[in-house]
Amino acid sequence: MTSIHKFKIEGIDGKEIDFSGFKGKKILIVNVASECGFTPQYQQLQELHEEFKDILVVIGFPSNDFGGQEPGNNLEIQEFCSLNYGIKFQLTTKVNIKTSPRHPIYEWLCRKDLNQKLEAEVNWNFCKFIIDENGHLVSFFPSAIEPASDEILNQITA
């Protein structure tokens, strides 16, 4: 499978997120957490969502795999994101990224033999993947690269 468009996942609100509906748009996938030093990146993610909504889909994947920094349930995560950052972009249900069983989307994102592009290791919260309009993985950025950095903006607007 070389396209992310074949995946579906449950959204934090219980509704299905079908990646085939994102054909023609770039996708920014970020593993998120509410109690991390990088949590303020939610603000830039929301700004990207607003500024580039015609060409970009931002999706946050809450995970408690890194330092236990996302201990809340789906409702608590939703409330935190809404109250503190006004998040309107899509969030998935809480997933495993590092621990077993790793969610199939992250299996695809991290393994070159599946994504046909690169090998990636998500080693902390707020790592970022960029997917092109055809559902192919383009880039991986570690936590310290901010969502509104030139490196990411150049990928979004390319």
How many domains, in total, are found in the chain? 1
Per-residue pLDDT of 90-136, as tens digits, reads: 999 999 999 999 999 999 999 999 999 999 999 999 999 999 999 99
As annotated, the active-site residues are 36
**Domain CATH for 98:** 3.40.30.10
In terms of residue numbers, what domain contains 142?
4-157
- 66 pLDDT above the threshold of 90: yes
52: left (phi over 0), alpha (psi -120 to 50) or beta: alpha
- Work out the pLDDT band at 75, boundaries 50, 70, 90: very high
Q: Please state, in angstroms and as integers, the Cα–Cα distance from residue 99 to each residue in 68, 69, 133, following that order.
A: 12, 14, 29
Count of Cβ atoms closer than 10 Å to residue 50 Cβ: 12
CB 41 within 8 A of CB 146: yes
